[in-house]
Amino acid sequence: MSIGKIKEFDVKSGTWSVYVERLDMYFKVNNIDDATKLPTLIAVMGDEAYELLSDLASPKKPADLTYLKVVELLHQHLEPTPSVLAERYRFRQRRQANEENVAMYVAELKKLARYCKFKDNLNENLRDQFVCGLRSEVIRQRLFAEADSVTYTDAVRVATSLEAAERDAAAVDGRGSVGASTFAAAAGPDVSRNTVSRRSSEIVDLRGDLHRMQLGGCTACGDYRHTKMECRFSKYQCSKCKTVGHLRRMCQENGDSVKQRDRAQARKDGGGAGMTRRGARVSVGGYRGASRGTGRSWHARSGAYQPTMHVFETQGEEQAEEVILEEEPIYQMSLSQYRPVQ
């Protein structure tokens, strides 16, 4: 009873050299002599492969050839000798894909190097291309820090360890944070898992702070600590464009000339305090101040900008508008919001 089984050769997708290697092992384990090798090959290769062999051997029949001649004939047709320069070009262009881990990347590099004819320099070329093609910048920088004498085997071992540390750190963190995985890979495989988790939490908190202060903050009043939906001035009417939804300081139609004219008008009216409009008493509150004369006041939160407002009565209804007396302060990020380096 024979050991093993040789399937038919797939002409369209099979690799002839690999098929021949398996066939030789089959001959060896089953003690098949040279005289029986060709008949065995013809018997197991399949109809499509035999048809191709018959065309290549014409006008002779395949049975009239030797086993080695048949192997060479099919090899020249199915696997013609590639250009060394072309194969080396493909080898140099190979980079680690997003879905590949280090082990898969190494296997693909070795496959591409088969026809490059590097000979004695094979390991050196494999090492160089392996390091240059790594997807992770952190792992590559770590390998750059190694001595020049680092071998291909050592480079693969270090990269595999760092990849495992990066994967474990992401699993411990639970969120798969990029910041945590990068920190773990840079620190090496001995990094404390508690430290990784703490750093990751700080990164997430900082991202939340930056998100709340995104792109100038509220488009209604300019405060970076809340959005327009949370702003109490979102329903006020702009004294410039008469549009409801923002204050004059945030109006897109504003310009330097408009601001200067508003300041001049405010000074002409007496600085704001004690003004009258349609018989109603107007009072002007300042920064963190309160209005007087109408019995109403606005109290600003500590550290927040409070726009100057005035109230007047029209046919029994109250309406609030903004009066700009001076250049409003521009918000900047407070130094107290920066986190100390751990």
pLDDT tens digits for 300-332? 444 444 444 444 444 444 444 444 444 444 444
CA 145 to chain centre: 25
Q: What is the mean pLDDT of residues 82-88?
A: 91
Contact call for residues 290 and 217 (beta carbons, < 8 A): no
> Considering the domain boundaries, does residue 35 fall inside one?
yes
In this structure, is residue 217 part of a structural domain?
no
Better-scored residue on pLDDT, 216 or 70: 70
Shared domain for 254 and 168, answered yes or no, is no
| CA geometry: angle 324, 325, 326, nearest 5 deg | 100
Query: To the nearest whole number, what is the mean pLDDT of the chain?
Result: 73
C-alpha distance from residue 131 to each of 4, 134, 145, 249 (Å) = 40, 6, 12, 55
Higher pLDDT residue, 80 or 338?
80
Write out the H or E segment, with its range, that includes residue 314.
strand 309-314
Q: Residue 212: is its pLDDT beyond 80? A: no
User: Residue 235 pLDDT more than 80?
Assistant: yes
Which of the pair, 214 or 8, is modelled with greater confidence?
Answer: 8
Q: Closest by alpha carbon to 94, among 75, 111, 79?
A: 111
- CA-nearest of 104, 162, 152 to 128 is 152
Of 128 and 172, more confident: 128
Q: Which domain holds residue 190?
A: 151-212
Let me know if residue 196 belongs to a domain.
yes
CB 197, CB 180: distance < 8 Å: yes
Co-location of 253 and 187 in the same domain: no
Which helix or strand (DSSP H or E) is residue 321 part of? strand 317-322
| 311 strand-pairing partners | 320
Cβ atoms of residues 98 and 135 within 8 Å: yes
3 state DSSP class of 252: coil
Length of the chain: 342
- pLDDT value at residue 199: 52
Q: State yes or no: pLDDT of 151 exceeds 50.
A: yes
Q: 284: Cβ–Cβ under 8 A, 6 or more apart, which residues?
A: 272, 273, 275, 291, 308, 309, 310, 323, 325
Residue 129 lies in a domain: no
Q: Assess if residue 64 is contained within a domain.
A: yes
Residue 202 sits in the same domain as residue 263:
no
As for how many domains the chain has, the answer is 3
Could you tell me if 201 and 259 lie in one domain?
Answer: no
Same structural domain, 268 and 315: yes
- Whether residue 313 is found in the same domain as residue 233: yes
Same domain, 190 and 261: no
| Cis upstream peptide for 59 (omega within 30°) | yes
For residue 318, the SS3 value is: strand
- What pLDDT is recorded for position 112? 93
* Judgement on whether residues 300 and 246 belong to the same structural domain of the protein: yes
